[in-house]
Amino acid sequence: MIAVFDDFLDEEMLNEIKNDPTFFQDPGVYYYWGAEWNGQPANTLKQRLIEKLWLTSSPLSFKWPVNGFEYWTGIQTANPEVGHKNILGPHYDKDEAWFKKTGEIVTPFVGTVYYPGIEEWEGGDLAVYTDGVDKSPEIVKAKPNRLIIFQAGQDVHEVLPVTKGTRHAIAINLWAQPPYALEAGELKYEV
């Protein structure tokens, strides 16, 4: 399953993200938010985005048992001097700490990628191998204000090369129970 929604955010929140210099200051730092039902109100812009995406304005109706949300920002750029790669290789999302500890694979039940469009870029499309890695992937173009929902824990996916500019994205995974990575200190609470 891949669902794509364009023009997802209204201009107010989109501009808030674009004008917040801290939103993408920590790419690759993984956070966990338990949401209000776990006594954690949305106190940050990233949490308010998740709240809008999944709790107040979700484009999908769902009945998944959500405990909380794992999220992180990613930056891929065509300019290697900036210090970021231009791709993200094939993978599927899983509880990395639990896998290291036990060898068992535990995954989120759904994942999302959102592109606010901080600056212009070319390339950086999302390739999702819905029929297995031996088949051609489904390619979803990365473009500003686009939301992609897919099975990030089941389908191998990758970011294709960014050929011009810098691609900014936030990834959000939904978990039925907190991943072990939270207990192991590999996920943080954003304050």
pLDDT at residue 117 is higher than 70 = yes
Rounded Cα distance between 32 and 74, Å, is: 16
User: pTM of the prediction?
Assistant: 0.93
The CATH number of residue 110's host domain is: 2.60.120.620
Does a structural domain hold residue 38?
A: yes
Does a structural domain hold residue 51?
A: yes
Does a structural domain hold residue 86?
A: yes
Does a structural domain hold residue 189?
A: no
Structural domain harbouring 159: 2-59+66-183
pLDDT at residue 64 is higher than 80 = no
Beta strand extents in the chain (DSSP E only): 2-6, 31-33, 68-77, 88-91, 110-115, 121-123, 126-129, 138-140, 146-150, 156-159, 162-175
What mean pLDDT do residues 39-53 have? 94
Does a structural domain hold residue 191?
A: no
Q: What percent of the chain has pLDDT over 90?
A: 80
pLDDT at residue 142 is higher than 80 = yes
Quote the number of domains for the chain: 1
